[in-house]
Every structure is written in C-alpha cells, then in structure tokens.
Chain A
Amino acid sequence: MVMILHEPGDASASWLAERFAALGRPADIVTSADLDTAILWDHRIDGDCASVAITLRDGRELSSAAAQPIVNRLSFVPFNAMREEAGRDFGYAVQEMFALYLSWLHAWPAPVINRPTPQGLCGNYRHPSVWTTLGRRAGLPVRPWRQSDRDAPDIAWQWAPAEATAIALGDRVLLPPVLPQAFGDGCVALAGLADTALLGIDFARDGEGRWEMTSASPLPNLMLGGEPAAAMLAAALA
C-alpha cells in the first residue's frame, strides 16, 4: 500500500488519495500532525545499513522493515507539539527534527517521491534564479531573472506568474494542451538536472505572447495533471 505524507489541508494529497482508491490502490494517509505526536522514534545507522521505526500515537508504525512506497508532500517538520515542550530550546529542537526527518526519509528503503534534500523535505526549493538557470540548460525558453543590490532580498520569493503548469515525473511529462509539445523534452531534462523525480514547471506568456518558463516546484498541484497524473504516480510507485 502506498503511503501519502502530507500537511493538513493539502488538497492535492486528498485528491490523490481518492484517485489512488479509484485506481484500486488505496493509500495510507499520514499527516504531519500524526508525525508531530509520534510517541517513539528509532533511527539507526550501522555500516551501510540504516533503519527507521516511528510509532504514531494511534498505534500505526512506519517501519523500514515493512517499507511502503511514499508520496512525500511534507514541506517542513511539524512542530506544534514541540513548541509546548521546548521552551527556549524551540529553535534548536526544530533544527534537530528537520535533521532527523531529512535522514529517515533519505534512509527509507522503498521508493519515495520526492526524496528529501537539505533544502526541502519533499525536494529542493530552489531560488527562482536557479530554476531559470537550470531551465535554460534544459533547453526551455526562460523568463530572465534580474537581481541587484537595489532589490529587496525577499522579493525573490514572491509569487511567479503561472498560466500553465507541466508535471514531470521521471522520464514522463504531462503538458497542458496550451503549451508547445516541444517543451516536453526540456521539462524532463529540467527534472533530471534538478535531480527531482516529481516536478511542477510553471509557464507564462511574455508581452508578445510567447511561452516561457517562470518557475518550478517539487510540490506541484497534482490536480492540474488530472487523472493522468494520478495514474503516472501510481505506476511509478507500483
């Protein structure tokens, strides 16, 4: 059975669970709130072997000894329970838990889409300038990224325009009909360069109506891909 890890309120995750059920692949749902209140953690590394056992408050166990494939949509470590306990050590405790999540998700012996990175638990949340640079290397037309000392540092993280989103998974891609089909190879190449199995790639039109890539995300809105996205994921995790 596939396990879907996600944040509470993640509409894509709920939708995916429904679609998996419709495909005859019911999923086990584990939210970050479930992990937040886990009662037992056991993560071991010995030589080149790593193991994980997490016991949730409701009695379920996530164990590498009986590892299920995972759709990983955790964006950050849950910390509500920890906030109550940690006091002035809260910031330190969050760093510790992020380091632990990064390690156990990396160690999980079954397929995980996406694997964690130090820059994001469900994949690398890259700066827009990096996506632009990788997009160009992948052969996609890109919206130029410009930055100077006169820009506010946080302007980079503002919403990038997305009139259409392609979803790449491994060597497959779902392109909305409005996008040139020739973008398909570039999207697959971008996911490869980014070392990110599942990638949403945003496009918008410039002033002259030409499509260009504006950003990408390891946590795409899967509903944009419809039934084919769910089927693609189910096949990848089979």
Chain B
Amino acid sequence: MILLCGIRTESPLAMVANALAERGADFRIVHQRDVAHYAIAWESGRDGVDGALRLGDETVALRDVGGVYLRLMDDTKLPELADLDPETPERRHARGFHEALFRWTEVSPARVVNRADPQGSNGSKPYQAQLIAAQGFAPPPTLITNRPADVLAFRERHGQIIYKSISAVRSIVKTLDDADLDRLDRIAWCPVQFQAALEGTNIRVHVVGDEVFPTQIESTHVDYRYASRHGGKTTLSAIALPPDIARKCIALTGALGLSFAGIDLMRTAAGEYYCFEVNPQPAFSYFESNTGQPIADAVARHLMAGDGGVSPTP
C-alpha cells in the first residue's frame, strides 16, 4: 500500500494520486483536513517498526505500507484548527497525530519521498553548494562576508553580482545595483551571500529515481519564480540533457539521500553547466502543467516500486 500525506487538492499530491489511480495502485490519501477521524500508534523495538494507522473506519497495518509521498502542510494552519486554542483537544490531537505520523516516516522501512533528514542540506545554500561541487557540478563563485570592501572587490572581479539569503528563508535572488551600494554598510552586523551573476539559460531538472525531466526556462526576470508577480513572463519547455549532465543530476540526487528532487541548473553560452541548488520537495505541478512532462507518473511508479520492497531505513 502507498500513503499520500497532505492536502487532497494540493496540485502535486492530486497529480500523483491520479497517476496512481490510472495505474491501479493500492493507495490511501492521509488528508490532513480529516485529521479528527485519524489515529496512529506505532513502535520501534527489537523486532523492527510496526503499528497501525486508522483512517476513519479503516485500519491500515503500517508493516503493509511500502511507499509514502509526503506533502504535509503545517497542521497548526489547517483551516479547521487555526482559530482554536493550542490546548484544545482538537489541536492537541492534530499535533500528536502529525508528530507521530512524521516520526514513523523517519524510521519506516517504506520508500519515503522524501525523508526529512536528507532535505536539510537545502537549509544552507553554501553547504549544499559544497555537496553539489563534490558531485562534479560547479556552483557559481560565491562570497559570504560582512565587509563591504570585499563585496566591491568581488563585484569588480565578476562584473554583475547577485545577492540572496544563505539559508532557505526569504530565498529571493536580486541583482546588486547602485541603490544597494548605498546601504552596503548594513551587512556589517550579519554576513550576506553574494554570487557572480551568470549569463545563460535556466534549466530545472526533476529527478525521480533514475529518471530525469529537464525543463528549459526563459524569463524576463533574474528569479523566474517571481517574474509574473513583477509583471514579467516565464516560458517553460521540455528539453533533453547531454547524457553526462543527466547522469550527474541522478548521482547528485542520490548523494543527497533523495529520490525526488528539483535541480536548478544554468547552461552558459559556452555550454558549461552550473548548479544553483537542489530543491528536496519540488512542487513539480507547475512544470508538468506547462510542458506535459510525466513527472507525477514517474513519482507514482517510483512509489509503486517501493511498495512490497524494502528501502533503506535512516
């Protein structure tokens, strides 16, 4: 059996559910908004991990779960619960259920897409950049500093540079312009990350197991994700990657402990490939809807391949 955990109507989860249904897979949706009707109890002991998950009138033996797709939202923000006091029985039950479910996914022998631990590298971009470089992809030249003079020297060396957060918080890319220079001394109290602005074509590569789905992105803005918000336009199209780049993408995903990832590449005019970052929980629906790439079906097949098999436990 396969569990899809999240909100039933959320696009990536709904698309994977449709793909599983078309393939006749045995799956259940753990719909967070129905949490009042759910219960879970499990144990990790000398004989392994086992327990039971009750979904309404049905009870699922956790040992029978072979695949899990996680798209959980913050349960404290569920519409049914957000306005309740945290100490109400409803909120306490929801919190306890989600915590127990999440902890089970971290130790279950099922194929989990993706466990939490391997997703952690995305919380530090320069840390992840070093892991990316170890797999043969060049990250953009990067400087993190709190000394304005070093930023100016970095800009002198590389021409146009961008700045963005070091962590995953407020992750918006901006070009360092003259107006920014007027307030550059403010970096003194907290170091900031700067990178050489590369010229080229953005490519998002979704990797599912050993399959790759590369999408070329043409945008009017530096950070294509926010182009429409600022009156710009983004066009997506499916492309093919050189075999060695595709292999590197698969290897990088595996090296990070992931089985599903969204990798952001840039191809320069000289044909070099740079890797900006790896998203461990890609909302692929935007790309599938615009290109027709069968990413959801690949996720479904990946989950089905784990169902009945055993994937590595943490």
Contacts and interface: CB of A to CB of B under 8 A. Distances in A.
Contacts of A103: 124, 126-127, 129-130, 144, 166
A82 B121 CA distance: 24
Interface in B33-49: 38-46, 48-49
Contacts of A136: 44-46, 48
A23 interface: no
Given A130-B314, A136-B45, A148-B42, 16 more contacts: A40-B146, A86-B189, A92-B167, A95-B167, A97-B191, A99-B124, A102-B123, A102-B124, A103-B126, A103-B127, A103-B144, A106-B127, A127-B103, A134-B314, A141-B46, A150-B96
A45 B129 contact: yes
Contacts of B142: 44-46
Interface stretch (A62-70, A116-124, A171-179): A116-124
Interface residues of B, number: 55
Interface of A: 40-48, 50, 82, 85-86, 89, 92-93, 95-100, 102-103, 106-107, 117-119, 124, 127, 129-130, 132-134, 136-137, 141-142, 144-153, 156
B120 A100 contact: no
A47 B133 contact: yes
Interface of B: 38-46, 48-49, 92-93, 95-97, 99-100, 103-104, 106-107, 117, 120-121, 123-127, 129-130, 133-134, 138-139, 141-147, 150, 165-170, 189-191, 313-314
21 contacts: A41-B144, A42-B145, A44-B143, A45-B129, A46-B142, A50-B130, A95-B168, A96-B165, A100-B124, A102-B127, A103-B129, A103-B144, A107-B130, A129-B107, A133-B44, A141-B46, A142-B44, A142-B46, A146-B43, A148-B40, A152-B96
Nearest to A98: B167
Contacts of B48: 136
A67 to B, nearest CB: 15
A18 to B, nearest CB: 33
A47 B124 contact: no
Given A82-B190, A149-B100, A44 B44 contact: no
A124 B43 CA distance: 22
B43 A86 contact: no
Contact of B117 (A100, A124, A133, A149): A124
Contacts of A150: 41, 96
A96 B120 contact: no
A99 B125 contact: yes
A147 B165 contact: no
User: What are the 5 A-B residue pairs with the smallest beta carbon separation, nearest first?
Assistant: A118-B120, A144-B45, A99-B124, A148-B41, A103-B126
Contacts of B106: 127, 129-130
A96 B190 contact: yes
Nearest to B145: A42
Contact of A144 (B43, B129, B130, B168): B43
Given A42-B145, A137-B313, A144 B44 contact: yes
Contacts of B45: 132, 136, 142, 144-145
A48 B104 CA distance: 37
B130 A45 contact: yes
Given A45-B130, A96-B191, A107-B130, A146 B167 contact: no
B103 A129 contact: yes
Contacts of B125: 99
A151 B144 contact: no
Given A130-B107, A141-B46, A151-B100, A99 B41 contact: no
A137 B40 CA distance: 24
Contacts of A50: 126, 130
Contact of A133 (B40, B96, B150, B314): B314
Contact of B97 (A119, A133, A146, A149): A149
Contacts of B126: 43, 45, 50, 99-100, 103, 107
B124 A118 contact: yes
A45 B127 CA distance: 10
Given A43-B144, A118-B121, A129-B106, A99 B167 contact: yes
